[in-house]
Structure 1
Amino acid sequence: MNMKIFVDTDADVRLARRIRRDTVERGRDVDSVLEQYAKFVKPAFDDFVLPSKKYADVIIPRGGDNHVAIDLIVQHIHTKLGQHDLCKIYPNVYVIQSTFQIRGMHTLIRDRGISKHDFVFYSDRLIRLVVEHGLGHLPFTEKQVVTPTGSMYTGVDFCKKLCGVSIVRSMENALRACCKGIKIGKILIHRDGDNGKQLIYEKLPNDISERHVLLLDPVLATGNSANQAIQLLIEKGVPESHIIFLNLISAPEGIHCVCKRFPSLKIVTSEIDVALNEEFRVIPGLGEFGDRYFGTDD
């Protein structure tokens, strides 16, 4: 269930409503209503209904008269309905909110006729949005500072133990733009001819087990190379829940593959595409990201 709601109405109100309903709609007298209430209704409520309150996500006092609570629930349901289906299946998958600006940038980088300069420019803009969204999932601590007016401002302090890990030819430029001086490790996984499971090279910070890790890969396709990179981080001592996997675009098959194996990490992407084709390329996709970004394509 997406949301468990307990409507907490006063016992006097509940009894008054029952008396009114049973006497008016069912033709019963007050004595029989009170006898049934005392013998069956109240004990059943105490034994079965009230204990469920501690499992509720939301407790609403005053029921239908609580318009603020109802509006919040309606907004939450609208948000859920607007999510990609995979976000409903996997609560650890986050797609940045789409706007006309974001759709426009996706249109540009997916156009095979775009220049390399424009591809790099708009890819970096999109990747930075993904990085910023990913940073929002890191733990924060409260911090107070004194402003130039001499006033006290209560804010938050950034996560200090943080590093990026780039699956080579990836997204580190946007990460460096957002996080000054951040350590970035490197992983190279050979994708062709071996189902994405051949680790070629890795160089990671020595204290990576003590850090939260932003794992960077522009395209999540089959998920095989991603799984190997994540497994390597876990073997190095990084808790699964400390890994945030950042993608520019993702295929549903890759999300299924990664989330089923690593349900505690978070995936942040700017768009979930339709599927993989017979050649395991993301459709509609944007082609070979590294070649287009670095100008090494034909």
Structure 2
Amino acid sequence: MNMKIFVDTDADVRLTRRIRRDTIDKGRDIKTVLDQYSKFVKPAFEDFILPTKKYADIIIPRGGDNDVAIDLIVQHIRTKLGQHDLCKIHPNLYVIQTTYQIRGMHTIIRDAATATHDFIFYADRLIRLVVEHGLGHLPFQEKQVITPTGSVYTGVEFSKRLCGISVIRSGESMENALRACCKGIKIGKILIHREGDNGQQLIYHNLPKDIANRHVLLLDPILGTGNSAVQAISLLLKKGVQEANIIFLNLISAPQGVHVVSKRFPRLKIVTSEIEFGLNDDFRVIPGMGEFGDRYFGTDDYQSSTPLFCDDKNRVR
């Protein structure tokens, strides 16, 4: 059992309730109720119920009148359902262990008033943590090296057959962190139409020719409905990538998207930094952080202070 609760109520309250119930609802007289209570109910409670108190994780005094204790339990259960139990339901889901540092960075990038340069700085820090965590799920081989002292150190080396695939355009924000962790890594692109058809239209892709022989880190900072992810993963499988060789990296994940992707691809790994509450009626992640690509690349109307223009080669600046 995940949580064992003992609701402790005063003996006088228990007896009063029993007398009220048995006399009013069952039509018994007081003498019969007290006789049954003293001969059967009270001894049974002391022999079978009270001893279980020592095994309880939580003891609630004053029973249902203890609003503070009940509220704490409710909040705890909501947290478990929102994150940890998802990992039990889907063993291929990995959520980075939260710290005050991580919560603090999430607070900054989720704030609508955060300036673009601050959003980029803290988003990059979180992305780096997700990438590092994702790399930890790659296959490793034992390797021995000679240290400068002439000693032998037994360590590991990770798979070198690796590539990154970013879902244009917000996924491109994760490329720098991946390059910083994996020198010279190949990175491909997938463009999926996200509006009007719930992300079900594949527009463009440019993938390494030998992608079927590589482990793939799929990059997309937001997992919402899961429709775009399903399209991207389906394309990778079509190109010969093994499902177990795909690691999907994102910053935040809605439970609905986790269910969709995990159910469809149970051997794929999902690595994220936080699980969201869910989706609203417009299929937006709640509480979310807005349009990630616009905020990261400074193309949102309410934060971009630098005008966009095209150079002589029609490249957007």
Q: TM-score range by the shorter chain?
A: 0.7 to 0.9
Whole-Å separation in 2 of the counterparts to 1:222 and 1:278: 12
Paired letter, 2:115: S
Show the counterpart of 2:210: 207
Cα shift readout 1:166-207 (whole Å, capped 9, x = no counterpart): 001211111111111100010010100111011111000000
1:128-147 alignment runs, 5 A limit: 128-147=128-147
Paired letter, 2:147: T
1:133-172 alignment runs, 5 A limit: 133-169=133-169, 170=171, 171-172=174-175
Deviation of 1:243 (Å): 0.3
From the CA coordinates, give the structure whose radius of gyration is larger. 2
Cα shift readout 1:29-83 (whole Å, capped 9, x = no counterpart): xxxxxxxxxxxxxxxxxxxxxxxxxxxxxxxxxxxxxxxxxxxxxxxxxxxx796
Deviation of 1:291 (Å): 0.3
Aligned length: 220
Deviation of 1:143 (Å): 0.7
Pairing partner for 2:266 from 263, 266, 271: 263
Deviation of 1:142 (Å): 0.7
CA RMSD of superposed structures (Å): 1.5
Whole-Å separation in 2 of the counterparts to 1:297 and 1:280: 19
Deviation of 1:85 (Å): 1.7
Show the counterpart of 2:65: none
Whole-Å separation in 2 of the counterparts to 1:84 and 1:266: 16
Whole-Å separation in 2 of the counterparts to 1:260 and 1:148: 49
Cα shift readout 1:121-165 (whole Å, capped 9, x = no counterpart): 000100110010000000000111111111111100121100000
Whole-Å separation in 2 of the counterparts to 1:153 and 1:116: 44
1:201-280 alignment runs, 5 A limit: 201-280=204-283
Pairing partner for 2:291 from 285, 288, 293: 288
Whole-Å separation in 2 of the counterparts to 1:107 and 1:163: 31
Paired letter, 1:93: L
Paired letter, 1:164: G
**Normalising by the residue count of structure 1, what TM-score does the alignment of the two structures yield?**
0.72
Whole-Å separation in 1 of the counterparts to 2:165 and 2:178: 10
Whole-Å separation in 1 of the counterparts to 2:84 and 2:111: 23
Whole-Å separation in 2 of the counterparts to 1:261 and 1:206: 25
Percent identity reads: 77
Cα shift readout 1:206-247 (whole Å, capped 9, x = no counterpart): 000000000000000000010000000000000100000001
Whole-Å separation in 1 of the counterparts to 2:84 and 2:284: 20
Show the counterpart of 2:96: 96
For structure 2, the residue ranges without an aligned partner over 5 or more in a row are 3-79, 302-317
Query: 3-state SS of the aligned residue for 1:237?
Result: coil
Paired letter, 2:237: I
Runs of 4+ in 1 over 3 A off after TM superposition: none
Paired letter, 1:273: E
Paired letter, 2:118: D
Paired letter, 1:139: P
For structure 1, the residue ranges without an aligned partner over 5 or more in a row are 3-80
Correspondence 1:175 to 2:175? no
1:118-137 alignment runs, 5 A limit: 118-137=118-137
1:35-50 alignment runs, 5 A limit: none
Show the counterpart of 1:184: 187
Show the counterpart of 1:86: 86
Paired letter, 1:292: R
**Normalising by the residue count of structure 2, what TM-score does the alignment of the two structures yield?**
0.68
Query: 3-state SS of the aligned residue for 1:114?
Result: coil
Whole-Å separation in 1 of the counterparts to 2:84 and 2:126: 19
Query: 3-state SS of the aligned residue for 2:251?
Result: strand
Paired letter, 1:188: L
